[in-house]
Amino acid sequence: MIEQRPFGRTGHMSTCTIFGAAALSRVTQAEADHTMELLLAAGVNHIDTANSYGDSELRLGPWTGRYRDRFFLATKTEERTYAKAKAHLHRSLELLRTDHVDLWQMHVLVKPDEWEQAMGPGGALEAFIEAKAQGLARFIGVTGHYTVAGWMHKRSLERYDFDSVLLPYNYAMMQNPTYRADFEALMQLTTARNIAVQTIKSCTRGPWPGEARHAATWYEPFTEQHDIDTAVHWVLRHPGIFLNTPGDIHLLPKVLDAARRLVHGPQSALDPAMAALAPTPLFV
């Protein structure tokens, strides 16, 4: 079975691999059904989707409506005002066929002007706080991409005590001294406050080298099982963090298989193997 870890202070024991439901953005319902059956068989108990992930919430609805108690259910919005964020949440609840989500997140909150709007009067934060008070979202969080994510998350946590953060984490990005320092500073803060940390882009080889693409991800992923094992195990050897699976349903079985076979040990012991894969950073 896949290891479970405390998801911050929520009281939920989440599988260390969280299903990144961006993988359902552009699939048929039959493909989504097969994917959900795979997740249930693997014991994955945490789903992360977003209102902006194409048909993801629509495809999840038949499953989250039927098996609501089997999953810690998270979604996101990129709206920055109170009214639009609130409308997004109710749309998500309708599509997901539930009366509440376990985690609602401000998505990709990294641009200073958007941050000021979301955190200011009439901003999305007001909708998030209200939703938590009303039980429509049990917990609230913030997500980010790019090299500024760690620094911006610290800023967000200074403004409000969010329950979770999400940001990129892989070997290539951690070779950037500034990003590494920001990530480690964020980890010190989240550890002290018992805030859950989700990570993305674990299986990234680098930007696509050309027009031809063989996966649904917007970056070139590792595809061989050995390479995926190395990348997944490198991430999951970091205690207390979670790996959100890549946005391709065909990579998912390999990532779950790698997670099942996780062997704990020093993360640094895998550094030579990761370096040999020669990944390149998506964000510079």
CATH classification of the domain holding 119: 3.20.20.100
In a domain, 55, yes or no: yes
In a domain, 77, yes or no: yes
In a domain, 221, yes or no: yes
Structure confidence at residue 283 (pLDDT): 85
| Coil, helix or strand at residue 94 | helix
- Which contiguous run of DSSP H or E holds residue 198? strand 196-200
In a domain, 253, yes or no: yes
Which stretches in the chain have pLDDT values below 70?
none
In a domain, 284, yes or no: no
In a domain, 200, yes or no: yes
In this structure, what token pair is assigned to residue 2? 């896949």
DSSP character at residue 16? S
pLDDT tens-digit readout, 148-171: 999 999 999 999 999 999 999 999
In a domain, 273, yes or no: yes
In this structure, what token pair is assigned to residue 205? 């080889």
In a domain, 50, yes or no: yes
The parent domain of residue 241 ranges over: 4-277
Terminal C-alpha separation, the chain: 36
Structure confidence at residue 28 (pLDDT): 98
**Side-chain half-sphere CA neighbours of 263 within 13 A:** 4
pLDDT tens-digit readout, 193-217: 999 999 999 999 999 988 788 899 9
Structure confidence at residue 40 (pLDDT): 96
State the total domains in the chain. 1
